[in-house]
Amino acid sequence: MAINVDTVYKTVLLILNQQQRGYMTPDEFNKVGTQVQLNIFERYMSDLNQQLRVPENDSEYGNRVKGTEEKIDVFKRIETPTFSTDHFTTSSLTDFYRLGTVIYDDITEVQKVERNEWYLVKKSPLINATKQYPVFLYEDTKIYVEPTTITSNIQVSYIKKPANIEWNYTVGSLGQYLYNSGASIDFELHPSEQVEVILGILVYAGVIIKDPTVIQVASQKIQQENINEKS
C-alpha cells in the first residue's frame, strides 16, 4: 500500500491554480512532500503510545490501536546488524529509525538492560548472561551483547524511516515536465493519509484549505484523468 506521488502532486498543483497561489516546482514538491511524510510518520509512535493508555474496544474496524499498528507495519523490518570488535551496530542499516527486538540464533530474544544493570550482569557471577539467556545494552547505535562469545547470529527487528519521495520527470518538447513513473518514489504512508499529506503540503505552500472535500474532489479528478490517459 502506498500513496501515488503523481496523484498528490497534480492535486496540489490543481488546488494552487484554483486558489491562484502560484506554482510548486517538482524539486520544491519533493522536499516539502518528504518533510510532510516524515511529520506524519513520526506522529504514529506518539499516537500509538497515547492510544495504549485508553480502554481498547473490540470493534473489528474501529480499534484505534490496531489501526495505528497497521500504519506502522509497513515500516517494520528484520535485518542482520554488522559486528565490529565488541559490538553490533545499527548504523549499518541505512534506513534505521527505531530499535525493536534483538534476536539470537533465530529463536532467543535477547533481553534489554540499562547501563546500571549492565554492570551488575558483567560483575556478578550469580546473574551472568548465558547463550540461553543473553542480554544487550543499546547506546549510540551500538548493541553490546553478553555473553561476549556471541559475535554472530544476531538479528534485529526495527522500524525503518520512510524513503524520500520523488516526483521524477523528463522534459518534453515544449519544456513541460512529464511524469516518469519508473524513476519516481511514492509516499510510503497508509492510503488513508492521502488527504492529510495534501493538506500538509498546502500548508507549507501557504494555502489553508479547511474543507477536506475540496481535496477529495481534486484527487478524484486527477485519478480519473490518469485512467483516461491509459485507456
Q: Do residues 191 and 5 touch, judged by C-beta distance below 8 A?
A: no
Model confidence at 55, in pLDDT bands (50, 70, 90)? low
pTM above 0.85, yes or no: no
pLDDT at 130: 92
Domain match, 67 and 90 both: no
Domain match, 52 and 156 both: no
Domain match, 143 and 200 both: no
Asked if residue 85 has pLDDT above 80, the reply is yes
Phi first, then psi: give them for residue 187, nearest 5 degrees: -70, 135
Domain match, 92 and 22 both: no
Instruction: Please say which residue of 106, 133, 160 terminates a domain.
Output: 160
Please write the tens of the pLDDT for every residue from 192-226.
Answer: 899 889 988 988 887 766 566 666 666 677 667 65
Q: How many domains does the chain have?
A: 2
Q: Measured between alpha carbons, how far is residue 175 from residues 12, 29, 119, 171, 226 in Å?
A: 20, 18, 65, 6, 21
Asked if residue 10 has pLDDT above 90, the reply is yes
Top pLDDT among 59 and 142 is at 142
Domain match, 64 and 173 both: yes
Of 15-19, 92-96, 154-158, 200-204, the range with the lowest mean pLDDT is 15-19
Domain match, 175 and 156 both: no
Dihedral over alpha carbons 195, 48, 79, 4 (to 10 degrees): -10
Instruction: Please say which residue of 145, 160, 175 terminates a domain.
Output: 160
Top pLDDT among 163 and 18 is at 163
How high does pLDDT run on average in the chain?
86
The residue segments making up the domain with residue 88 are 76-160
DSSP states along 138-196? EETTEEEEESTT--SSEEEEEEEPPPPPB--EEE-TTS-EEE-GGG-B-B-S-GGGHHH
Q: Which residues lie below 8 Å from residue 166, measured CB to CB, with a gap of 6+?
A: 5, 30, 183, 184, 185
Domain match, 103 and 148 both: yes
Domain match, 174 and 69 both: yes
Domain match, 47 and 100 both: no
Please report, as a single letter, which amino acid is at residue 49: N
The dihedral built from the CA positions of residue 203, 208, 210 and 216, taken in this order, carries a sign that is negative
Residue 46, classified by CB atoms within 10 Å of its CB into exposed (0-12), middle (13-18) or buried (19+), is exposed
Domain match, 108 and 137 both: yes
Domain match, 146 and 87 both: yes
Locate 39 and state its grid cell.
511529520
Instruction: Please say which residue of 105, 131, 160 terminates a domain.
Output: 160
Please write the tens of the pLDDT for every residue from 93-122.
Answer: 989 999 999 999 999 999 999 998 998 888
Dihedral over alpha carbons 175, 181, 184, 186 (to 10 degrees): 130
Please write the tens of the pLDDT for every residue from 128-150.
Answer: 899 999 999 999 999 999 999 99
Domain match, 101 and 67 both: no
Residue 219, classified by CB atoms within 10 Å of its CB into exposed (0-12), middle (13-18) or buried (19+), is buried
